[in-house]
């Protein structure tokens, strides 16, 4: 039996797929970084979440039996692919699993920014029946949504936003006009053009050296005054101090943030204290369907590797010929 360590809940469907070949060895009830590293020493494979420390030499030095590392979701910025490759470890992700819940989360944040649902609910629970004047929101119909990134998740956000009657524009140099048109989206050639006219700006791009800190004081100043920013992508894309200042000054009217530069973020983070910010703890993909899809996708990929078959979604294909093999 091969040993699988997992960092998150493991769906029963995945357990059933792997039952004849795999022993499950994680996680502890209250996992911490040291527990994770101690447990993974025995693992042949690991299913990991966003905060697993897969970018340090210490992890790979302790995980001498590890052959497969599968990131449950799409983003893999917590994994050092070069280091994993040097150690002969196959790294995969499950990119389709979080599409629907993350897109729905972006739309939920947009809806809650347009209508003061969270605040008025809190007021009512506190015994306050505020006047309609003090609870005034606005319709999404006719508003412009600017998508920075039009991949799986951005494309699905576009489809939903179109149903609300929003005008959807996007910047994505990797998407052609024909695909954008099929999604009901108008492509713009420059980010500044998107910032200038969008009532809502929603980020859907990975954390890379070229995207880190791209939402900063300079780009925030280019945005339409009174616009709203939504981030369900990666926290490192946004310079949080600059966003807080833009919200204080009124340059932006509000923000919906599910991801943070450092996770978990400090409760003292000014963005968590602002009334015009909806703050959530990286929960966009947290739904039953996503868990089931991610786990079964990962399980089927792992079974393929057991059989020496090249799996889909292998992020470091150069490792394949020199990979650590299952005996």
204 is catalytic: no
234 is catalytic: yes
Per-residue CA distances from 62 to 23, 37, 234 (Å):
19, 7, 28
What per-residue string of b and e applies to 74-98 under the rule 16 or more CB within 10 Å gives b?
bbbebbbbebbbebbbbbbbbbebb
Residues 220, 251: contact at Cβ < 8 Å? yes
263 is catalytic: yes
Q: Which of 11, 71, 234, 323 is catalytic?
A: 234
DSSP type of residue 43: -
Q: Which of 71, 156, 282, 323 is catalytic?
A: 282
Residues 206, 151: contact at Cβ < 8 Å? no
Angle at 257 between CA 31 and CA 165, to 5 degrees: 135
Q: Which of 263, 275, 289, 325 is catalytic?
A: 263
The percent of the chain in helix, strand and coil, each rounded to the nearest 5, is: 40, 15, 45
Residues designated as active site: 234, 263, 282
């Amino acid at each position: 039996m091969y040993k699988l360590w997992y960092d998150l809940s493991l769906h029963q469907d995945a357990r059933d797929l792997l039952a004849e070949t795999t022993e499950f060895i994680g996680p502890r009830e209250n996992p911490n970084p040291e527990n994770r590293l101690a447990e993974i020493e025995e693992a042949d494979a690991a299913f990991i979440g966003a905060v697993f420390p897969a970018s340090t030499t210490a992890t790979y030095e302790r995980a001498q039996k590890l052959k497969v590392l599968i990131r449950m979701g799409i983003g893999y910025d917590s994994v050092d692919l070069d280091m994993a490759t040097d150690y002969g470890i196959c790294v995969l992700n499950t990119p389709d699993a979080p599409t629907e819940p993350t897109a729905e989360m972006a739309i939920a944040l947009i809806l809650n920014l347009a209508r003061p649902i969270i605040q008025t609910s809190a007021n009512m629970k506190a015994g306050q029946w505020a006047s309609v004047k003090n609870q005034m929101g606005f319709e999404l119909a006719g508003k412009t949504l600017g998508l920075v990134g039009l991949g799986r998740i951005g494309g699905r956000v576009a489809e939903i936003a179109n149903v609300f009657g929003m005008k959807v524009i996007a910047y994505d140099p990797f998407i052609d006009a024909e695909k954008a048109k099929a999604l009901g989206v108008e492509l713009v050639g420059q980010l500044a053009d998107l910032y200038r006219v969008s009532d809502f700006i929603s980020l859907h791009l990975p954390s890379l050296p070229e995207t880190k800190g791209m939402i900063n004081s300079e780009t925030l100043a280019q945005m339409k005054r009174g616009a709203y920013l939504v981030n369900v992508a990666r926290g490192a894309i946004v310079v949080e101090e600059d966003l807080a200042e833009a919200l204080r000054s009124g340059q932006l009217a509000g923000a919906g943030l599910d991801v943070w530069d450092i996770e978990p973020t400090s409760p003292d983070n000014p963005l968590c204290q602002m009334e015009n910010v909806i703050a959530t703890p990286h929960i966009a993909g947290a739904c039953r369907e996503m868990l089931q899809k991610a786990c079964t996708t990962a399980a089927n990929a792992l079974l393929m590797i057991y059989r020496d078959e090249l799996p889909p979604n292998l992020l470091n294909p150069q490792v394949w010929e020199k990979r650590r093999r299952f005996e």
